[in-house]
Chain A
Amino acid sequence: MNVVVCTKYVPNPQGTPTLGPDNLLVRSDVEGALDPGDEYGLELALQLVERHGGEITAISMGPDEALAGVQRALAMGAHRGVLITDPALRGADALVTARVLAAAVQRQPAELVIAGVESTDGYTGTVPVTVAALLGYASVTAVRALELEGDALRVERQTEGGYDVFACPTPALVTVTAGATEPRYPSLKGIMQAKQKPLERLTAADLGLTAEDLRSTQTVVEVVDAAAKGGGEIVQGDAAVARIVELLAEAKVI
Chain B
Amino acid sequence: MGAAWVYAEMVGGHVHESAAELLTIARSLGAEVAAIALGPGATDAAAELGAHGAATVYASDDEVFSGFAGGPQTFAVAGLIEEHRPSIVLFPGTYEGRDVAGRLQARTGSTLMANAIDVVGTDRARTEIFGGMKVVDVQLAGPEPHLVLVRPRSVTPARTDGTAQVVAVPAEIPEAERGARLLERHEEVASGPKLEEAKVVVSGGRGLGGPEAFAMLDALAEAIGGAAVGASRAAVDAGWVPYSYQIGQTGKTVKPEVYIAAGISGALQHIVGMKGAKRIVAINKDADAPILKMADLGVVGDVFQVIPALTEEIRRRTSS
Give B288 Cβ to nearest chain A Cβ, in Å. 11
- With a cutoff of 8 Å between Cβ atoms, the chain B residues found around residue A224 in the complex are 134-135
A42-50, A72-80, A230-238 - interface stretch: A230-238
Contact of B298 among A133, A142, A215, A232 (CB under 8 A): A232
Contact of A129 among B99, B199, B275, B306 (CB under 8 A): B99
Are A253 and B257 in touch, CB under 8 angstroms?
A: yes
A2-10, A81-89, A118-126, A202-210 - interface stretch: A118-126
- The complex places the Cα of A162 from the Cα of B187 at a distance, in Å, of 5
- With a cutoff of 8 Å between Cβ atoms, the chain A residues found around residue B113 in the complex are 218
- The complex places the Cα of A95 from the Cα of B105 at a distance, in Å, of 7
Give A253 Cβ to nearest chain B Cβ, in Å. 5
Are B249 and A217 in touch, CB under 8 angstroms?
A: no
Contact of A98 among B106, B182, B183, B242 (CB under 8 A): B106
| B317 contacts A by Cβ under 8 Å | yes
- With a cutoff of 8 Å between Cβ atoms, the chain B residues found around residue A125 in the complex are 98, 102, 114
Sorting the interface of chain A by its residue count into under 10, 10 to 19, 20 to 34 or 35 or more gives: 35 or more
Are B299 and A133 in touch, CB under 8 angstroms?
A: no
- With a cutoff of 8 Å between Cβ atoms, the chain A residues found around residue B279 in the complex are 247, 250-251
Contact of B95 among A17, A142, A250 (CB under 8 A): A142
Are A232 and B296 in touch, CB under 8 angstroms?
A: yes
Given A94-B105, A133-B107, A161-B244, residue A139 in contact with residue B112 (CB < 8 A): no
Contact of A178 among B101, B190, B225, B237 (CB under 8 A): B237
- With a cutoff of 8 Å between Cβ atoms, the chain A residues found around residue B317 in the complex are 245, 254
Give B259 Cβ to nearest chain A Cβ, in Å. 10
Contact of B133 among A178, A226, A252 (CB under 8 A): A226
| A26 contacts B by Cβ under 8 Å | no
> Which of B130, B180, B200 has the most chain A CB atoms closer than 10 A to its own CB?
B180
Q: Give the B interface residue count (CB, 8 A).
A: 92
Given A124-B114, A248-B314, residue A253 in contact with residue B137 (CB < 8 A): no
| A71 contacts B by Cβ under 8 Å | no
| B149 contacts A by Cβ under 8 Å | yes
> Which of A23, A118, A128, A155 has the most chain B CB atoms closer than 10 A to its own CB?
A118
Contact of A254 among B225, B249, B295, B306 (CB under 8 A): B225
Contact of A226 among B134, B140, B184, B283 (CB under 8 A): B134
| A229 contacts B by Cβ under 8 Å | yes
* Chain B proximity mask over A139-159: 1 for CB below 8 Å, otherwise 0: 111100000000000110111
A222 nearest CB neighbor, chain B only: B137
Are A124 and B106 in touch, CB under 8 angstroms?
A: no
Contact of A141 among B95, B224, B293, B313 (CB under 8 A): B95
* Chain A proximity mask over B98-118: 1 for CB below 8 Å, otherwise 0: 110111111101111111000
B147 nearest CB neighbor, chain A only: A126
Given A124-B115, A162-B186, A225-B134, residue A167 in contact with residue B258 (CB < 8 A): no
Given A162-B187, A166-B180, residue A141 in contact with residue B99 (CB < 8 A): yes
- The complex places the Cα of A223 from the Cα of B269 at a distance, in Å, of 19
- With a cutoff of 8 Å between Cβ atoms, the chain B residues found around residue A159 in the complex are 95, 185, 187
Are B114 and A94 in touch, CB under 8 angstroms?
A: yes
Query: 4 tightest CB-CB pairs across the interface, nearest first?
Result: A179-B237, A133-B106, A129-B102, A217-B142
